[in-house]
Structure 1
């Protein structure tokens, strides 16, 4: 790995107006971009731009947070950047990831801007994070909190850069993709391909996202939310869940380039890692009913960690999306981990 530009260029650095703790300086938030030369596992050395956001006290410990392939550098709202973030309920005052206590770092995944049309490995993402830490002069992370794809990247980071990480929390993401989940993603990518053949990239991507939503959630949730009789609209039968799926597709295509979706979806299926190669303590969080990451795979990961892993199991109707919905329960786990009580010694 090599750095092209080691000086980060912050877009904005401003103090927050909030005062979550009396007598404590208000947290700050900054964004920046760093150009690097990234040696990639399947694509050679590529010039990429790492876009990050760092929120919190200047001298606090750093926690890196990474979500699914649609997550990005803006994890939560601040006075500097007030729009809601993808982990808004977890990175907040009074939470384990309170920016007044820890510094929370996130970035846009390599390939998320749609400009890199090449195979992207989770190991590439992990190496990109190491380069980002170099540029920001952050020697070691207190923790890496990963959800879904972010858990896969976190495992790679722990294996490839163990000296830079104290502990890892891996939620709904393990050492390899399940074949059932890979089949779901393959169909999603085929939906995009069919759209491209018809010069309808956006409808194809929207359909792929709708397929994905079915895999993220559970039949139990759909049974509770959409148990209404279908309607006949313009001579066609329309099911109760279709408005929800249409909205999910429209929201996704408004912010996601087609190439980014395809390459990051592929990246999940490229992911492979030997759990024995991870030398740091790992808290593995599994969700009963997760259709993409079965509980048995999380058990296999913990067994492969050989004493360095601890398994926590949640029951939730939200399936794979439990991390974003069961925020109180996830926060309790994170609080224990950051106190050093939630992982193997």
Structure 2
């Protein structure tokens, strides 16, 4: 296999702030060149946040394409993170007992308008670990797109990872999910044709929200009669969808969305190439990553793989909502490696 290479070219001084005894939060970035699978060598910036005790085992937490380096509020960086209830005191990913590393995916800043492979993200992570002086990860916890990146990292940099937890991410995209994403990208393209990029991106995000969640959840939350507004019918879920679209547009460049959405559909691995012990977490009712695909991944892993199945009305977003159940899975996946809770 022809692995991409990554080399650091220049680093930026990180901000480091002590929290409590022995615990620090560090946020920084490095400039690098990544030899991308579909685009050759490209300059990128790798932005990261590292929180926890300096002597604690390192766990990488990587989320979906809209996730970023800030996973939870802390004394140094008090803004709300995307995994707020999962990275907290008393949890398996408690910064008092683990060093939690998260990074912005390359392309997330919209500055990389080329095809981006999940292998490129894995190589970028390896480069970041080199910069931080981290030889091996205790665990990589990947959700959705992060699970795909984790699979590539486990294959391409296997000596640097002890355990992989892959939540709602299979070894290949399901054709149904790929069709959903293709239509979302067409919505963006229509917006661009009308010089209304934000409207197209908002509509794409609204389509995505329908694929992330389940009919059961919508049935519970939005079972109300439609209203007539200015002579038009408006259904109960539209306020929620409008808010989701507006929030996403406010923080996401159009090129970032397009390229990272494509990156999901480019993902392909052979599970037999993955030799790191892997816990695969599937969600019944996940329409983007069906249970059958996760079973196929585990079967390909053989004795190295195990499967955990959740049933949740939140579908693909269960990782962000079912924090108690996800935490229990992480406890079983991470603690048996000689660490105490």
Corresponding residue for residue 139 of structure 2: 143
Map of 1:21 onto structure 2: none
Equivalent in the alignment of 1:185? 181
Contact map agreement 1:28 1:55 (CA 8 A) in 2 = yes
Corresponding residue number in structure 1 for 2:210: 214
2:169 maps to 173
State whether structure 2 residue 122 is matched by structure 1 residue 119.
Answer: no
Q: Which residue of 2 aligns with 1:20?
A: none
Aligned-residue offset at 1:16: 1.3
The unaligned stretches of length 5 or more in structure 2 are none
Alpha-carbon deviations, 1:125-167, whole Å to 9, x = none?
A: 0000000000000000000000000000000000100000000
| 2: CA distance, partners of 1:231 / 1:117 | 42
CA distance in 2, matches of 1:4, 1:301: 33
- Looking at structure 2, the residues matched to 2 and 151 of structure 1 have their Cα atoms a distance apart, in angstroms, of 21
State the 1:6 CA deviation: 6.2
How big is the alpha-carbon RMSD for the aligned residues of Structure 1 and Structure 2? 0.9
State the alpha-carbon separation in 2 of the partners of residues 295 and 16 from structure 1: 41
Structure 1 residue 8: deviation in Å? Answer: 5.2
Whether 1:16 aligns to 2:16 is no
Deviation at 1:306, TM superposition (A): 1.3
1:2 to 2, 6, 10: 6
Report the CA distance between 1:59 and its aligned residue.
Answer: 1.1
Q: Note the C-alpha offset of 1:9.
A: 2.4
Task: Indicate whether 1:30 and 2:26 are aligned.
Answer: yes
Matching residue within 259, 277, 281 for 2:277: 281
**What residue number does 1:86 align with?**
82
Equivalent residue, structure 1, for 2:261: 265
- Answer yes or no: is the 8 Å Cα contact 1:121–1:267 preserved in 2: yes
1:44 matches 2:4: no
Structure 1: distance between partners of 2:233 and 2:205:
21
Q: Deviations over 1:166-202 (max 9, x none)?
A: 0000000011000000000000000000000000000
TM-score normalised per structure 1: 0.95
1:203 aligned residue (199, 203, 208): 199
User: Does structure 1 residue 304 correspond to structure 2 residue 307?
Assistant: no
Match of 1:57 among 38, 53, 57: 53
Secondary structure, in 3 states, of the residue corresponding to 1:307? helix
SS at match of 1:254: helix
In 2, Cα distance between the equivalents of 1:155 and 1:118?
22
Quote the residue 2:237 is aligned against: 241
Mapped partners of 1:37, 1:323: distance in 2: 32
SS of residue in 1 equivalent to 2:95: coil
Runs ≥4 in structure 1, deviation > 4 angstroms? none
Give the one of 253, 256, 274 matched to 2:252.
256
CA contact (8 A) 2:6 2:123 kept: no
Change in CA separation of 1:2 and 1:124 when aligned onto 2, cut-off 3 Å: closer
- Tell me if the contact between 1:6 and 1:135 (Cα under 8 Å) persists in the aligned partners: no
2-structure distance, mates of 1:157, 1:129: 8
Following TM superposition, by how much is the alpha carbon of 1:26 offset from its aligned partner in structure 2, in angstroms?
4.8
Q: Identify the match of residue 62 of structure 2 among 63, 66, 69.
A: 66
1:230-253 deviation per Cα after TM superposition (whole angstroms, max 9, x unaligned): 000000000000000000000000
**Distance in 2, Cα, partners of 1:173 & 1:4:** 29
What's the offset of the Cα at 1:7? Answer: 4.5
Distance 1:283 1:202 in 2: 38
